[in-house]
Amino acid sequence: MTTMKTTSPILVTGATGYVAGWIVKGLLESGATVHAAVRDPKNKEKVKYLDSIAEKAPGDIHYFESDLLREGSYRDAMAGCELVFHTASPFTTNIEDPQRELVDPAVNGTRNVLEQANRTESVRRLVLTSSVAAIYGDTADVEKTRDGRLTEEHWNETSSLEHQPYSFSKTLAEREAWSIAKAQSRWDLVVINPSLVIGPGVNPMGTSESFNLIRQLGNGTMKTGVPNFCISVVDVRDVAQAHIQAAFRREAKGRYIISAVDTNFPEMGRVLSQHFGNAYSFPPFTLPKWLVWLVAPMVKRSLTRRMVSRNVDHPIRCDNGKSIQELGLSYRPMKDSLVDFFQQMIDHGLV
């Protein structure tokens, strides 16, 4: 496996984000010069965690103000860069207008960054953060695959603005990226498709939906029980490593499912309970599907009965073989990721 080298600066969009923080850390510690595209470089509270890493690392960091929806706003940040990591995209389920809050930023932001790559002669490779949400919409979809597992060949064909709008936005954004990439030949596109990302953040006060989910497993929100939502998870540090390997391994190509283990909410609660004991209100048992289906719309607007029907008690199986073989990844155990994540929340008074 040959390795690409670059002395050029490296652009990371959404640099203060959950996954991006670990990518920036890895790059700085390798001695790279990072162009960090952020919404507001003057917001010292947001950038202080990256500044702290940069102070101790051999690499350098330079901030650039950028806006996903403003054409040309990545021009200065991308100037002179051979490698671009496009991580910036919304991840939330608490939304009023899915088109405006999810689809437009994801699709138009991706188009904005990739079209800037077309205008920037120095760019040779762009690594895009997508999601397994672009590979499947509901775990019921897995049953329709040839051998009951998800691979990079699969695409989400069941999500829409009305059903699983976040997954729909990730699917549209990735399809747009491939369309733009295939229309030119100077730079190549590699796509990272992580499952649910967990593990400690470079910024311990992160706002990713991952923080909300793991916090709710222990803060009493699910003290009456938890649905058997089946899900695959992966450590944020492994996701960052996957991005870096995808950027620097010359033979890397196409899409990569980045996922450590296939699990479910009750099992995640059990792992936390076994480690932290009775100090926190972890889910004591699994709620029956019929009950979850019945009360879902009353509990949370985004938790529809269709979502319950198509995800609760439907097992998931993600094939991570390509990432192991081509990117050389080895995955952390889920216990380590969950315990490190929850302990960070305890240390910072978040649970």
Q: What angle do CA 172, 176, 182 make, to 5 degrees?
A: 145
Q: Write down the pLDDT at residue 5.
A: 66
Please state the rounded mean pLDDT for residues 162-185.
96
pLDDT tens digits for 306-335?
A: 999 999 999 999 999 999 999 999 999 999
In the three-class reduction of DSSP (H, G, I as helix; E, B as strand; rest coil), residue 72 is classed as coil
pLDDT tens digits for 95-124?
A: 788 898 899 989 999 999 999 999 999 999
pLDDT tens digits for 270-279?
A: 999 999 988 8
Question: Is the predicted pLDDT of residue 92 greater than 80, yes or no?
Answer: no
Please state the rounded mean pLDDT for residues 27-50.
95
Higher pLDDT, 187 or 212: 187
Q: Write down the pLDDT at residue 94.
A: 67
Task: Let me know: does 198 contact 258? Beta carbons within 8 Å.
Answer: no
Question: Is the predicted pLDDT of residue 130 greater than 80, yes or no?
Answer: yes
Question: Is the predicted pLDDT of residue 61 greater than 90, yes or no?
Answer: yes
Q: Provide the strand spans (E) within the chain.
A: 10-13, 33-38, 60-65, 83-86, 125-129, 188-194, 196-198, 230-235, 254-258, 261-264
Radius of gyration of the chain (CA): 20
What are the structure tokens assigned to 18, written together? 């959950």
Q: Of 201, 298, 211, which Cα lies nearest the Cα of 240?
A: 201
Q: Write down the pLDDT at residue 17.
A: 94
Q: Percent of the chain beyond pLDDT 70?
A: 97
Query: With 0-12 CB in 10 A as exposed, 13-18 as middle and 19+ as buried, what is 216?
Result: middle
Q: pTM for the full model?
A: 0.95
Please state the rounded mean pLDDT for residues 153-168.
94
Please state the rounded mean pLDDT for residues 46-70.
95
Query: With 0-12 CB in 10 A as exposed, 13-18 as middle and 19+ as buried, what is 153?
Result: exposed
Write down how long the chain is. Answer: 351
Q: Which domains, from first to last, does the chain contain?
A: 10-216+232-260+317-347 (3.40.50.720)
Q: Of 132, 201, 140, 142, which Cα lies nearest the Cα of 171?
A: 132
- Whole-angstrom distance, CA of residue 270 vs CA of residue 77: 44
Residues sharing a CB contact under 8 Å with residue 146, sequence separation 6 or more, in sequence order = none
